[in-house]
């Protein structure tokens, strides 16, 4: 039990270190992550959505995931508990993007739109980019965990 508590306190620290290193352009530490890999339209994004319990990833035909999505899930106390402390975001669940400094998304359809918009900003003509999008989802209904959604594998 002591090891589990130590790991629970270590995960947010490591997530923050990853963000700092990415912000300054240094990829010094490579930590294990759960990555979904498979062919195009095989349900990789749906697997991630089922872990979060929300629909927030872009949908459509063809290659929809055109940039890797690094998804950090952060377990937070329920809203009622946080209200007692009178601090933090006044929503049950929310998301933040590394590229949108200090912006909080409480509407998951807006999270989907931001993923689509950010993908379009860095890819041209429906191309694929290796540049990841970093999204954090805060919720009392998730485990603290980092997941990666990759573009689908295609054959020519």
Range in 31-35, 76-80, 99-103 with the lowest mean pLDDT = 31-35
Q: Record the pTM.
A: 0.76
| C-beta neighbour count of 71 within 10 angstroms | 27
The average pLDDT across 60-81 equals 84
User: Is 151 in contact with 67 (CB distance < 8 Å)?
Assistant: yes
Residue 136's nearest CA partner among 70, 68, 55 is 70
Measure the CA–CA gap between 64 and 9, rounded to whole angstroms.
35
DSSP state of 122: H
Q: What is the DSSP letter of 123?
A: -
Higher-pLDDT residue of 12 and 106 is 106
- Domain boundaries along the sequence of the chain: 1-30, 32-149
Task: Give how far the C-alpha of residue 49 lies from the chain's centroid of Cα atoms, to the nearest Å.
Answer: 10
User: What superfamily in CATH does domain 32-149 come from?
Assistant: P-loop containing nucleotide triphosphate hydrolases (3.40.50.300)
Query: In the numeric block, which tokens belong to residue 6?
Result: 């130590």
Q: Which of 3-7, 11-15, 22-26, 58-62 has the highest mean pLDDT?
A: 58-62
Can you say how many angstroms the Cα of residue 71 is from the centroid of all Cα atoms in its chain? 2
Token readout for 12 is: 């947010």
pLDDT at 156: 57
pLDDT value at 42 more than 90: no
Is a pLDDT exceeding 90 seen at residue 14?
no
- The string of pLDDT tens digits covering residues 143-152 is 888 888 887 7
The sign of the torsion formed by the CA atoms of 107, 111, 112, 114 equals positive
Radius of gyration (C-alpha) of the chain in whole angstroms: 16
């Amino acid at each position: 039990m002591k090891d589990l508590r130590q790991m629970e306190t270590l995960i947010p620290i490591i997530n923050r270190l990853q963000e700092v290193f990415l912000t300054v352009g240094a990829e010094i530490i490579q930590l294990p992550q759960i990555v979904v890999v498979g062919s195009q339209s095989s349900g990789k994004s749906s697997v991630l959505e089922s872990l979060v319990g929300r629909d927030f990833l872009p949908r459509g035909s063809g290659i929809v995931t055109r940039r890797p999505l690094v998804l950090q899930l952060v377990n937070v106390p329920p809203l009622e508990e946080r209200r007692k402390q009178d601090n933090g975001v006044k929503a049950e669940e929310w998301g933040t993007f590394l590229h949108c400094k200090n912006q909080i998304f409480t509407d998951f359809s807006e999270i989907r739109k931001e993923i689509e918009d950010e993908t379009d900003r860095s890819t041209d003509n429906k191309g694929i980019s290796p540049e990841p999008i970093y999204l954090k989802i805060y919720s009392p209904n998730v485990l603290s965990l980092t997941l990666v959604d990759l573009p689908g594998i295609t054959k020519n």
